[in-house]
Amino acid sequence: MKITTIGIDLAKNVFQVHGVDERGKVGLKKQLKRAQVLPFFANREPCLIGMEACASAHFWARKLQALGHTVQLMAPQYVKPYVKSNKNDAADAEAICEAVGRPNMRFVAVKNAQQQAILAVHRARQGLVKARTAQANQIRGLLGEFGVVLPQGISHIAKRLPEILEDGENALPGSFRRLLARLGEHLQHLARQVAELEGEILRWHRDNEASRRLAQIPGIGPLGASALLATVGDAQTFANGRQVSAWMGMVPRQASSGGKSTLLGMSKRGDSYLRTLLIHGARSVLQQVERHPERAAPWLKQLLARRPKNVVAVALANKNARIAWALLAHGRAYARHYTPAAT
């Protein structure tokens, strides 16, 4: 029997494999240890292999593609409806095998090693920023218990904390002063690490021509451009910019029934980190518009006049995502006054 489609349920040590022929007849059910995976597929004829886009999926996809197989990754939520029985490795592998053969299935582009590396830097930076914010809030909260109130913003803590430690008239106990000094050093250490990782991202951005083109879009800087390029991967996997913005979760949720369509808030699907970067970038553009209204596009002025600022920020981020897709898919540079050709 010639196996044409295989589903793999990935794990740390033991992988479950399920294969069918061109008529859908099951011809392969097998468990493989990690060291057996590549030798097993090296000895098989090229076929279609499906996997969930989870941890290590992109690594295995690159390895199997190098052996001549066609590999497709799918979001786990799209595979779940095909699970026929209780959840176990065999049932998951069968569901993956069935899902990958569906003509309308949405696939995830396989990332190369460089894309994964810069995304790892982004994830590490995101964790450090959260830790820095938590540390700053802890310092502010502890000082508040002793009647010392600081303005919002991490910069105010870095500026005022040395003054508070040196002030002998604020009646802070010695043990509490030593604690504040230690927490302040930790906050500075986190800030240095964030700055170092942002420098690493900036260097990657400057060396990447596509990332530099994306950064020409108002509201997208080096952080957003590098994250967008590495996350989207091959822009050709999307048919148009609308699919990209929907994939990022920046389109309205629908609740339609009986011919009546109701639009709700953002769907918030996809990568929340990337969506946050684009929306924050859009907010920075709106701040510039407030200071220099004459520089704003007419559509943006009209939208600001009738909708809340947060709604406008999401709309601008949505538009930027579509523009970014066009630049990547067609290899173009950003043109501020670009007008599509008439068809």
Tell the burial category of 9 from Cβ atoms under 10 Å away from its Cβ (0-12, 13-18, 19+): buried
Strands (E), 157-231: none
pLDDT in single tens digits along all 343 residues of the chain: 799 999 999 999 999 999 999 998 998 999 999 999 999 999 999 999 999 998 899 999 999 999 999 999 998 988 999 998 888 899 999 999 999 999 888 888 899 999 999 999 999 999 999 999 999 999 999 999 998 888 888 989 989 999 898 887 788 898 999 999 999 999 999 999 999 999 999 999 999 999 999 999 999 999 999 999 998 888 888 888 888 888 888 877 666 666 666 666 666 777 789 999 999 999 999 998 888 888 788 888 888 888 889 889 999 999 999 999 999 998 888 887 666 654 4
- Hunting for tokens 């066609």 — which residue is that? 70
Residue showing tokens 């996350």: 231
The owner of tokens 């209780």 is 86
pLDDT at 338: 63
Residues in the chain: 343
- Tell me, which fold does domain 5-108 have in CATH? Nucleotidyltransferase; domain 5 (3.30.420)
| Model pTM score | 0.84
Q: Are 63 and 48 spatial neighbours (Cβ–Cβ below 8 Å)?
A: no
- In three-state secondary structure terms, 29 is strand
- Cα separation, 130 vs 54, in Å, equals 23
Q: Which residues sit opposite 98 in a β-bridge? A: none
The pair of three-digit structure tokens given for residue 9, joined into one six-digit string? 């349920």
β-pair partners for 19: 6, 28
- The answer to whether the beta carbons of residues 5 and 19 sit under 8 Å apart is yes
| Residue 254 three-state SS | strand
CA atoms within 13 A on the CB side of 333: 2
Rounded CA separation 202/198 (Å): 6
Burial class of residue 249 (count of CB atoms within 10 Å of its CB; 0-12, 13-18, 19+): middle
Give the separation between CA 166 and CA 175, rounded to whole angstroms.
14
CB 313 within 8 A of CB 297: no
Report residue 171 as tokens. Answer: 């009646």
Question: In the prediction, which pLDDT does 340 show?
Answer: 61
- Asked if 118 and 204 touch (Cβ cutoff 8 Å), the reply is yes
Predicted pLDDT at 186: 96
CA distance 312 to 303: 7
For 340, the token pair is 């599509």
3-state helix, strand, coil in the chain (%, to 5): 60, 10, 30
Question: In the chain, where are the structural domains located?
Answer: 5-108, 113-207, 215-254+268-330
